[in-house]
Structure 1
Amino acid sequence: MITNKSQQKLQLSSTSRIAFRDALSDLPKSIPPDPNNIKISEKEKNLFKTSLTNWICLNIRSINIIEDEGLKSLIDLSIRIGYMHGPVSVSSLFPCRKTITKEIQKIGMAGRDEMKTVLIKAAKERRLSLSPDLWSDGYKQISYLGCVAQWLDDEWNLCSFDLFCLPYRKPNKSAANLIKVIEDGLELFGLKPFMFDIVWVSDRGSNFKKALAKFTVLHCIAHRLNNMLQHTFYQSQMNKVKQDAVFADYYASSMEDEDDYVSDNDTEDDISFSDDEALIDKRIKNRNNFYATSTRNTLNNTITQLPSDAKRVLVTIIQCKDLVKYIKKVRRISAYLYYYCS
């Protein structure tokens, strides 16, 4: 998605915009020139409001959907068609799921081709930067590699575009596997030949550092500051390690979410660890020490073999117990206020 306001015209493919405009122009010209002059009765407004409310509630839609420009455009087109042809059956207009899927793929290909031209031009002129990052879905147990593109247009406006987000299905997160997935994503936009012309922005994870070592790289200062703040204010490390040991799938640490580490299966001997990696090593050592000294290894092995639904129940119980202390604090404060203020 383009985030710069001056570049919002790129949010939709120009091909789809042109097709939509042509479709409107093909309609008969007897449509009133100014629909705002048409007065609608309060009864009709209330009927539409009730129908819209029922749709949102019964189908569990976000209330913000009424502000969606796409929905307004769709309703506007429906009103125009109904004005010209009278009452029309919804089934005669609404396509099936397969048709919509094909149309999404068609518009997606057209939009990708349009963005190829913009991104390749920016890469050739060395004003394109890419920010790849790994993140994990703790529920589905799937990792993803996403990449955001940023560049300056001809009017010096900063533009941003979500380039790709691909499932990471490699056996580990080594530099060799990482660069392969990045190249697969770049192939979608024809950017693979321009990797040396792109400025790369990433965290200081050793796998990213080695994967992008041949290119121009700027390390993200936000990740650095985040690690510094965690190291400074993280006061309950052993408690978190215990939770991770029992429910590793449901207590993913922020370090793991950032993927600022190399997988255990990675055997890269020439990696030079920065302070960030040293901090992560320290946490891993603490976790290993906990495993070595814990007397609940058998219990942990049993819990890890539980079905995911049973794990979620136990995690919910643990989280509820964690909330009890706050309930007690509130009660003490309430009693204190009642005693001194009454």
Structure 2
Amino acid sequence: MNSATFNSDDEIYVLSSADRSADASNISSPGLLNDSTPPSNSYTSEQLNHFLLRKNENFRLENNNSTKILAPWWRAFGYITVKNKKKEFERINGFISCVKCYHTFRYGPASGTKHFVEHADRCFSLISSNSATDGARDSKLVQSKLNQVGFRPKTKLTLKEKKEFKELCAKWVCTDLRPFTIVEDYGFERLASMFIKIGAEYGLVDVKELLPSRQTVSRTVDDLAAKYRIDLKEELYEPLRAKAVTIAPDFWMSKYSKQSFLGVSATYINSIFQFKTIDLLCRSFNGIKSYDLILEAITTHLSDFGITNLMNVNIITDCGSNFIKCFAQYEPLYCFGHRLNNILKTCFFQQQKKKKKQIQLTTNDISTEREPTLTTTGLTVQTEGLSSSSEFNSSESEQEVEEEQQTKFNKSLPLVKPRYKKTSATANNAQKMLVENAPPEAKQVLLMLKQAKKLVKYVKLVGMNTEIKQEGGVTLHQSTVVGWLTLSDLLESIIKSFKVIRKLLTGKEKYRLITDLNLQYLKQLYTLLKSFKHIIVSVQKGNAPSLYLVPMCYITLKQVLQSFEAIKKYNQENIDKPNENQLPDDSTDYDLEDELPGIRWFRERLLILLNEMIILDIRQVAATLLHPKYRSLRLIPDYIKDQCHKYVRQQVTKLRDQQVETQNQQPTEPPTKRIKRNIFTRFESGNLNEDPDDAGSGNESDEYEYDLRKNDELDRYLSFKFDKDKETTEALQFWKDQQHQFPFLSKYARSILSIPATTTNVEREFSTAGWILNERRTSLQPDKLENILLVRSAEKYLYEK
């Protein structure tokens, strides 16, 4: 049986209970139970109405679950039940009550139904219709369940009505140029439900009187955004005090209006240890992107959300020189995804220089045969600009500063200290290498990359993708310098369609476009990049903690790049799946048996750059330590473990001192009476659980030091025994459950786990902004864009159920 509870708006929420038969009598109106139920003369209608209105927990309304066809007025009524001594609900015979206003009537064989019908028409009126179809349908009406009344009645439409509705949707999509998926939008579903609800309550309504104008909708967006800013300010108040808020700023330029925007997304962990993300702002930014102007703009804009001091938040950003200098005093973290992307750009000589140059590679440097049309011109490796294929212009067009410049502004960062310092003679050699100094086998790989991009560009230009798909291939994907994940997609699409492309190009007399593409080289290069792609995708988690993944991903990449066999094994165990439309398995593909010289050179170069360009931040290691599943820091060197433990203890001590300082600032109790002391007082023994001020006489030997320090929170956490029956251990759930046992460590864990590993969220915000500011909406005002993004983000993430 289903029971119902009610709120102040008379909305009905159905609760499941044990199924019991409700129609045991043989009279014409179903619903009377046997003699075991409470007698009807124990209550009056007024008493039962009072109990229901007061929401007495001992009384409930329940459905009439009779299998017989019920009269239409039953849509408004339910049975009244009372809790017995066994804490089970039994029906009270002789009464029924309205599920909306709780008006209670006596119900029995001699009660009649006229007053039931009248009351049902008042509380749940039926929509009248003069059509013969509706009249026929009304005569077959049956009682709606409580969870359907006023909300989602299961009504069967006629074939004619269904056809008319489908045609209206199709005409709407075609005439107003809307996507087909608009009919699947959650917002459209809610809007349609609202229309049905209004129609059920008021009957026929002029839709023009109901729909607001575009100006009204625009103003309502501004009103909602203003409301959400106030809500966010209240929502962030407590996490800010715990420093459990992280901001990720970045720059973006609209493809059509060429307007620059400063965007900031925030991730935070609230007081009940829920991970939340929100797009705070996306405001137009005019002028020079200097560090002082950026800092001023961010500080001013964030004050709308109660963030008045950047020392109260964590900061993660890319390695643009202006952002590095802007946040130097706030100890920012740098996006791990950007660092891996920059390693790939540097490895394949695609990094952007301050002065754009073109380095010519003559054909004499490459000992492979090519057609005469290619030998007459040298290979040009262009240093493409970052904004050439993307709208994401982050921090001075994504210019990466040199390592010396980063060190200049980041001396105060808590970086992992290496065991051995690099000598100045060997430091950064791989980063500074020019493409002209690369060996011939490496230049051959670069030539194929250039030719592969040219091939895809031609296929896109002439629209050959359709022919490729018809012949059994897959669509070719383009690559950009901004995201090196796209290079992996480009190579994969070419490999899967290689035979089809060769056949089609031969027929079009364009075979020269594929002459320099060696399938074995393409496969091995794709295999090399596939592991990088998998790691980058793994750390790009926007809706859950991810900083703890950085040390593990870093160590994994270093191990995988040790040999080509290790790469194939990693791909086979973690990426490749059987029975799917994909490349042949590594173990059966003969093109992957022996590593080619050019691939070996780039693999070893990637490993060198990984060691040169990534320096772990101790907070990344601390995040791994504070994830209960990885707290032992396996495979991490002991000297890094020691640094991490020391750093976490320092942070816990700071939190404890801050609490003591706060308590000291509060009004204290009157001083206790001073105890008289004598010369022997200092020799008295205290309780065993008290820390002595002086544990020894001062004459102990240095060889036999005795550690009297109690186990602190970190020691107790490291030795904590987990329930082995649990398959997974979620970090936030653990700290929520154990915050009383580890009061300061849990507070620091909440702060450190609020930091994401990458700036994925702000980039996704810009991606959404790009959809909004499309070619048809270039005149949309910047403040309106920000309000739309805020409302969308708040509805999607902040108020999700």
* TM-score bin (small chain): 0.5 to 0.7
The residue that corresponds to 1:213 in the other structure is 328
Q: Are 1:188 and 2:304 matched, yes or no?
A: yes
Q: Which amino acid aligns with 1:257?
A: N
CA shift, 1:235, in A, is: 6.3
Distance 2:320 2:505 in 1: 50
The residue that corresponds to 1:307 in the other structure is none
The residue that corresponds to 2:260 in the other structure is 143
Distance 2:171 2:218 in 1: 27
Provide the TM-score with structure 2 as the length reference.
0.29
CA shift, 1:253, in A, is: 7.1
- CA contact under 8 A between 1:128 and 1:152: conserved in structure 2? yes
Q: Which amino acid aligns with 1:333?
A: K
Q: 1:56 to 1:322 in 2, by over 3 A?
A: closer
Alignment of 1:189-268 (within 5 A): 189-191=305-307, 193-234=308-349, 238=358, 241=382, 251=388, 257-260=393-396
Cα-to-partner distance string for 1:238-289 (whole Å, 9 max, x where unaligned): 3575986xxx9x83579x73335699xxxxxxx92579xx9xx99xx99xxx
- CA contact under 8 A between 2:248 and 2:266: conserved in structure 1? yes
Q: 1:84 to 1:181 in 2, by over 3 A?
A: same
- CA contact under 8 A between 1:123 and 1:194: conserved in structure 2? no
- CA contact under 8 A between 2:252 and 2:394: conserved in structure 1? yes
- SS in structure 2 opposite 1:36? coil
Q: 1:228 to 1:103 in 2, by over 3 A?
A: same
The residue that corresponds to 2:124 in the other structure is 30
The residue that corresponds to 1:84 in the other structure is 201
CA shift, 1:166, in A, is: 0.8
CA shift, 1:78, in A, is: 0.9
- CA contact under 8 A between 1:198 and 1:216: conserved in structure 2? no
Distance 1:235 1:134 in 2: 21
Q: Which amino acid aligns with 1:78?
A: F
Cα-to-partner distance string for 1:130-165 (whole Å, 9 max, x where unaligned): 000112223322211111100112232221111111
- CA contact under 8 A between 2:268 and 2:275: conserved in structure 1? yes
Name structure 1 gaps, 5 residues minimum: 1-17, 264-270, 287-318, 338-342
Q: Select which of 217, 227, 230 maps to 1:110.
A: 227
CA shift, 1:76, in A, is: 1.0
Distance 2:390 2:220 in 1: 40
Q: 1:273 to 1:51 in 2, by over 3 A?
A: same
Q: Which amino acid aligns with 1:251?
A: S
Distance 1:54 1:225 in 2: 48
- CA contact under 8 A between 1:173 and 1:262: conserved in structure 2? no
The residue that corresponds to 1:291 in the other structure is none
- CA contact under 8 A between 1:130 and 1:201: conserved in structure 2? yes
Cα-to-partner distance string for 1:204-256 (whole Å, 9 max, x where unaligned): 11100111112131111111111111122356983575986xxx9x83579x7
- SS in structure 2 opposite 1:176? helix
Name structure 2 gaps, 5 residues minimum: 1-7, 12-99, 101-121, 126-143, 352-356, 359-379, 409-427, 436-456, 466-497, 508-801
Q: Which amino acid aligns with 1:221?
A: F
- SS in structure 1 opposite 2:265? strand
Q: 1:40 to 1:175 in 2, by over 3 A?
A: same
Q: 1:55 to 1:273 in 2, by over 3 A?
A: same
Distance 2:225 2:218 in 1: 10
Higher percent of residues as helix:
1
The residue that corresponds to 1:302 in the other structure is none
Distance 2:381 2:214 in 1: 45
Cα-to-partner distance string for 1:14-66 (whole Å, 9 max, x where unaligned): xxxx99x9xxx9xx841665233322222212211221122122212222222
Distance 1:63 1:130 in 2: 36
Provide the TM-score with structure 1 as the length reference.
0.65
Distance 2:289 2:346 in 1: 24
Q: Which amino acid aligns with 1:189?
A: F
The residue that corresponds to 1:93 in the other structure is 210
The residue that corresponds to 2:289 in the other structure is 173
The residue that corresponds to 1:46 in the other structure is 163
CA shift, 1:97, in A, is: 2.2
Number of corresponding residues: 264
Identity rate of aligned residues, in percent?
A: 26
- CA contact under 8 A between 2:317 and 2:334: conserved in structure 1? yes
Q: Which amino acid aligns with 2:332?
A: V
Distance 1:335 1:69 in 2: 45
Alignment of 1:155-170 (within 5 A): 155-169=272-286
Alignment of 1:261-280 (within 5 A): 272-273=405-406
CA shift, 1:84, in A, is: 2.6
Q: Which amino acid aligns with 1:183?
A: T
Distance 1:242 1:190 in 2: 43
Q: Which amino acid aligns with 2:405?
A: S
- CA contact under 8 A between 1:207 and 1:262: conserved in structure 2? no
Q: Which amino acid aligns with 1:114?
A: D
Q: Are 1:65 and 2:204 matched, yes or no?
A: no
- CA contact under 8 A between 1:145 and 1:165: conserved in structure 2? yes
- CA contact under 8 A between 1:127 and 1:198: conserved in structure 2? yes
Of the structure 1 ranges 83-92 and 173-182, higher mean CA displacement relative to structure 2 is found in 83-92
Q: Which amino acid aligns with 1:272?
A: Q
- CA contact under 8 A between 1:204 and 1:274: conserved in structure 2? no
Q: 1:99 to 1:240 in 2, by over 3 A?
A: farther
- CA contact under 8 A between 2:323 and 2:395: conserved in structure 1? no
CA shift, 1:86, in A, is: 2.4
Q: Which amino acid aligns with 2:249?
A: P
The residue that corresponds to 1:15 in the other structure is none
Distance 2:460 2:231 in 1: 51
Q: 1:203 to 1:59 in 2, by over 3 A?
A: same
Distance 1:49 1:262 in 2: 48
Q: 1:49 to 1:230 in 2, by over 3 A?
A: same
- CA contact under 8 A between 2:267 and 2:276: conserved in structure 1? yes
Distance 2:383 2:342 in 1: 21
The residue that corresponds to 1:333 in the other structure is 503
